[in-house]
Structure 1
Amino acid sequence: MSGLAKNLNLGLAFLLELVVYVSVGGWGFTARPRLSARLLLGLGGPLLLIVLWALFGAPTATYMLSDWPRIGFEVLWYGAGAVALAAWWRKAPAAVFATLVVLSGVLARVWGQQE
């Protein structure tokens, strides 16, 4: 059972990462009235987050963060997703998302799933 729970948590973490990209993109495409601004925010926002994740957040990141810097990065990174989700859609799903991020992050650290 423990192995199954750990795998489910890894799957949840991946889905939460995808929600960040979708939320920022969705917010970007609806944030401004001008098409050029919507395209810049809707495509550029997720692209920026992909680059930041590759540099600092991914298991094979170029610059591995640990301990408090890692937690700070995750708070800002997932926080951007939660704020974008609240602005783009509704506050209740954003609160559920943020709760799942905290739960998954705590379990990952307890189970040694974070580098």
Structure 2
Amino acid sequence: MEFFKYANLCLRFLIELCALTALGYWGFYAGKGYLVKIILGIGLPLLAAVIWGMFVSPKASIPTTGIIRFLLEICVLGAGGVALYAAKYDKLAILYAIVMMVNLTFTYLWKQHSTY
């Protein structure tokens, strides 16, 4: 069972990286003009990382718990799926959303939300 718990934490980290990558890709994809593409492509993942670091990470400067933490996780990680969908990667967005929700479910069932 411990193997699956560690695998779930590893998957969680990969989902976080995928969300940042998807936000960056969409930013470069959607922007009109080079300056806007750079601002969106770098700014969106940076904003998501700052929000995650401030409120959700294990060393958060403003730690959150309960429903607030869960909603922040859904918003930041879900933004990756929305970005994939907006970038015309419909099937990948659906797959990402399913994997994200399964991971979140196990994270909360196994009470791993305080350890990642």
Q: For structure 2, which runs of at least 5 residues remain unmatched after alignment?
A: none
| Partner of residue 111, structure 2 | 112
Query: 1:100 and 2:84 equivalent?
Result: no
Deviates more, 1:9-18 or 1:74-83: 74-83
Counting aligned pairs with the same residue, the percent is 32
Q: Provide the alpha-carbon RMSD of the alignment.
A: 0.9
SS of the residue aligned with 2:61? coil
Query: 1:63 and 2:32 equivalent?
Result: no
**Could you state the TM-score of these two structures normalised by the residue count of structure 2?**
0.94
**Could you state the TM-score of these two structures normalised by the residue count of structure 1?**
0.95
Could you tell me which amino acid in structure 1 is paired with residue 84 of structure 2? L
Q: For structure 1, which runs of at least 5 residues remain unmatched after alignment?
A: none
- Give runs of aligned pairs for residues 58-97 of structure 1, distance below 5 A: 58-97=57-96
Corresponding pairs, count: 114
Could you tell me which amino acid in structure 2 is paired with residue 15 of structure 1? L
Superposition misfits of 4+ residues, deviation over 3 angstroms: none
| Partner of residue 37, structure 1 | 36
CA distance in 1, matches of 2:100, 2:65: 18
